[in-house]
Amino acid sequence: MSSWDEWVKQALSTLESLNILRSLRPIHYSNHQLAPKIDHAFKVFDEIHLWDRASVEIEIAESTFQRWLQDVPSSGDDLTCDIEDRSRESESCSIPLRKLLLFSGNDYLALSSHPMVAKAATKAVEEHGMGPRGSALICGYTTYHRQLESCLAESKNKEDCLLCPTGFSANMAFMTVVGYIGSLSDTNLKEGVAIFSDALNHASIIDGIRLSERQGNVKVYIYKHCDMAHLNGLLSNCTMKKKVVATDSLFSMDGDFAPMVQLSKLRKKHNFLLVVDDAHGTLVCGKSGGGVPEEFGCESDVDICIGTLSKAVGCHGGFIACSKKWKQLIQSRGRAFIFSTSTPVPIIAAAHAAVVVAKKETWRRKAIWKRVQDFRSLTGIPITSHIISLIVGSEEQALKASRHMLKCGFHITAIRPPTVPPNLCRLRITLSAAHTKSDIKKLTFALSECISLRESGYFYTNVTAKL
């Protein structure tokens, strides 16, 4: 991708001439070495424990349960009302609770409840509080942040990495930088940037592209979901030199993978910049947890890998794994990064510990893929990932199915418009390393009572999104 390297270099040169290149200067704590170390007593485990089950075994107030069954709108104050009622009656009166098995979360490896993750956060907050509060370019960037960036860059097989407050802001920051590169070509459209986006890409990619268009000289093309013939045709007919293809690696509402091998081949043919949002594949896919690109052997063909710390990592935040030149450009022009307060130190420490745990406790990745196999075997539905999308049709049908699952003790929500089209409402089910085969058996039995598993659609294609 020598052409894009040159265009990024030119953009950096422009910023340097204007004296607006921005720098990250990590703050060191007086009681720490150059880089904070994982505690010498750091422990890993080789099987599921009770704390793992805490990530999938939850409780909700009886009033919340009843409102959910009746589809009564709620502002989230159900529990508050219960507490107030209890205080009026008796201090010893307990709130009625319903136990549910969670099948709708994104904590795929059950790391949010891991004792070493909690220990890392506790240690950091005891020593530093929440850390310096400010944007990363002012005072919010510490040695903790730098250490996590290095760890993620290694995991994604990239030269460097930039942390962002969320995965959403990471996509926004990157896409606005692409828009900035397009704006440097003035009014010559052929010298601008052409962005090719999958029809079912995440909202953060779509909103980022919308902002990049506003900067001028950016042309956007939407290709049919995972349709490489359509993408190839669009690329072939585009006369613009600067081309970017952006895609989710694993689509969150459908559970299907982007055709990474075909994308890699098209990249070689058309010389575009390949940008992959690996939010749902990070730590879960690939032999070492490097994500979907590693799973399909395409790491070297992905130029920019965007991810989140709020799913399999079990914490909060986002990141952009890229080259050092791209990092410098994003930290200088990526507004969603520049104007956001940096993630608190305890969260960063916890995220680093989670990544380390995921690398060491390889049984977690194996466990989640066993659950995928269990569901496939029990239902006959050829799912390919830990995200299961069961299309049931109308909004009424989806709500009815969700209420049935609630009565059976499962936390599974109905996905409705505007997230999906009106006639493609669904149950979105996510699997976790903390789930057991017994959980899957109970789940599939309950599902079979409310929908026809053999006939339900489990993903849809060729739906075009409007930017």
pLDDT of residue 187: 63
Count CA atoms closer than 13 A to 427's CA, side-chain side. Answer: 27
pLDDT of residue 95: 77
Where are the CATH 3.40.640.10 domain residues in the chain? Answer: 2-31+114-360
pLDDT of residue 87: 52
- Evaluate whether 60 touches 171 at the Cβ level (below 8 Å): no
CATH of 2-31+114-360, one of 3.40.50.11400, 3.40.640.10, 3.30.470.20, 3.20.20.100: 3.40.640.10
Residues in the chain: 467
pLDDT of residue 466: 33
Q: Which residues contact 438 (CB under 8 A, 6 or more apart)?
A: none
Characterize 454-464 residue by residue with b for buried, 16 or more Cβ atoms within 10 angstroms of its Cβ, and e for exposed.
eebebbbeeee
pLDDT of residue 75: 80
- Edge-to-edge strand order for the sheet containing 410-411? 57-61, 97-102, 410-411
Helix (H) or strand (E) holding 88: helix 78-89
Between the alpha carbon of residue 226 and those of residues 245, 258, 265, the distances in Å are 12, 6, 14
Label residue 317 exposed, middle or buried (CB < 10 Å: 0-12, 13-18, 19+): buried
Count CA atoms closer than 13 A to 193's CA, side-chain side. Answer: 29
Q: Which residues of the chain have pLDDT under 70?
A: 1-2, 31-41, 78-94, 186-189, 454-467
SS3 38: coil
pLDDT of residue 461: 35
Residue 114 to residue 110: CA distance in whole angstroms: 7
Residue 247 to residue 78: CA distance in whole angstroms: 39
CATH 3.90.1150.10 fits 58-108+363-448, yes or no: yes
Label residue 206 exposed, middle or buried (CB < 10 Å: 0-12, 13-18, 19+): buried
Instruction: Report which residue type is found at 177.
Output: V
Residue 306 to residue 334: CA distance in whole angstroms: 14
Name the token pair of 336: 């969603």
DSSP state letter for 190: G
Angle between helices 78-89 and 62-69 (to 10 degrees): 140
pLDDT of residue 456: 54
Residue 417 to residue 277: CA distance in whole angstroms: 23
- Evaluate whether 211 touches 175 at the Cβ level (below 8 Å): yes
- Evaluate whether 261 touches 267 at the Cβ level (below 8 Å): no
pLDDT of residue 189: 63
| pLDDT one-digit tens code per residue, 221-247 | 999 999 999 999 999 999 999 999 999
pLDDT of residue 151: 97
